[in-house]
Amino acid sequence: MNLAMKPVVLILAAGLAACATPAMPPRASTPGSQTCASSEVRVDAAFEGGAMAHCQAAGPREFDITIRPEDQPINPSPWYAVRLTPQTAGPVQINLLYGDARHRYRPKTGPDGDNWTYVDDADVRVSDDRSVAHIRLDLDAAPVFLTGQEILTASDYATWMMPYRTRNDLSVSTVGYSLENRPIEMITHHPESGRGSVVLIGRQHPPETTGAVAMQAFVEVVLGSSALAQEFRSTYGVVILPLLNPDGVQHGYWRHNRGSTDLNRDWGPFAQPETRAARDAIDTLDQSASTRPVLFLDFHSTNRDVFYTQPAGEDGTPYRFTGLWLERAGARLPGYEIERAERHQSDLPTAKNYMFGRFMIPAITYELGDDTDRALIRQTAAVFAEEMMAILLDYGLAAAH
């Protein structure tokens, strides 16, 4: 993926670009919930990642769109994604009605899955209680998407992973299936005499695309051709589960999988096939010291950039990997504030708690802000990837001896 963000325009390059509008597969949905139309404009969400609960024309060029979650109770991450097809050019008014939820994602538009532009703030009015967002769009006569974040679907991941499928040093395999029988895919690299594996997972929560941007930029550096990356891969394994919740992404869910479960609260019960697939893949790593996990990163999005970690000095490494990693990356990123949120181990069944409790290794939730500049996300992720590799080579090997 090559996602760069200018001050106003987000550009999603072809490496992870969604297909052109007609090629988007239909979204399974409740009949009647995916389309409404006036005499001048058609609104629909019948595409991969599309989401609206109800739509009603309030006038020839005005629509009330109800946004509701897949389940209750739920963490409030009100995702929306619709396609507008006008008959003629002109303004269109969209009213997003959230009910008990609150407007979170800054609106974006794009003619396809490649290019995304923020709606001008002057054209967005949000009610005082943030339960309604009024969005004015000046459209030409071509279809356009209106979404909370960039649409990054299973199709996009398949495109992004394509170069890795043909590499002799990597393996791409299906380790399980979602409730709707979508594959859970894993990229792996294991050297002949490894010193353990770095495990990376992503997209447990469907709308969290800034975490996806960071993860893919991170992976591209670790699997890249630099001398550092090649030395790292000659010593350490890499295990990547980039899309753990494909059903939620497909249906435009706020938080859950098709089983009405927050997957990042299922690392303990393992009641869902997606988390069981991840657990079973990790179980195979624990069969040998050469593949056993040495570091775990889980990529997410929230309202700011933050790293959720073990308390300082308590990440299971004698050289205090986490603090060293954040310090060294910060030294290379002047002006970029690195927030570390230290959390003691708890009974909450998150991936972070599970991996630390089982392996006593640094287990870190890597969170990116919803509105963090996409070019900055990629830049910082590259630095964090490089420092991770350098530290494990310099300190991890010494500690292992």
- How confident is the model at residue 44, as a pLDDT? 97
Tell me which amino acid residue 277 is.
A
Spatial contact of 161 and 266, defined as CB atoms under 8 Å apart: no
- How confident is the model at residue 396, as a pLDDT? 80
Greater confidence, 222 or 397? 222
Mean pLDDT of 200-223: 98
- How confident is the model at residue 164, as a pLDDT? 98
**pLDDT at residue 33 tops 80:** no
- How confident is the model at residue 27, as a pLDDT? 31
- How confident is the model at residue 22, as a pLDDT? 28
User: What is the C-alpha to C-alpha distance for residues 144 and 150, in angstroms, rounded to an integer?
Assistant: 13
User: What is the C-alpha to C-alpha distance for residues 145 and 108, in angstroms, rounded to an integer?
Assistant: 8
CATH architecture of 154-400: 3-Layer(aba) Sandwich (3.40)
In 242-332, beta strands by DSSP E: 293-302, 306-309
- How confident is the model at residue 400, as a pLDDT? 62
* Phi, psi for residue 282 in degrees, rounded to 5: -70, -35
Average pLDDT in the chain: 91
> What is the three-class DSSP state of 256?
coil
- How confident is the model at residue 28, as a pLDDT? 35
Q: Which residue is listed with tokens 């910060």?
A: 330
Contacts of 358 (CB under 8 A, 6+ apart): none
Share of the chain above pLDDT 70, in %: 91
Spatial contact of 109 and 12, defined as CB atoms under 8 Å apart: no
pLDDT in tens, 206-217: 999 999 999 999
pLDDT in tens, 60-91: 999 999 999 999 999 999 999 999 999 999 99
pLDDT in tens, 234-249: 999 999 999 999 999 9
- How confident is the model at residue 65, as a pLDDT? 97
User: What is the C-alpha to C-alpha distance for residues 296 and 273, in angstroms, rounded to an integer?
Assistant: 20
Looking at domain 17-147, does it have CATH number 3.40.50.1860? no
User: What is the C-alpha to C-alpha distance for residues 175 and 194, in angstroms, rounded to an integer?
Assistant: 22
Contacts of 390 (CB under 8 A, 6+ apart): 228, 328
pLDDT in tens, 326-381: 999 999 999 999 999 999 999 999 999 999 999 999 999 999 999 999 999 999 99
Tell me the domain boundaries of the chain: 17-147, 154-400
- How confident is the model at residue 114, as a pLDDT? 81
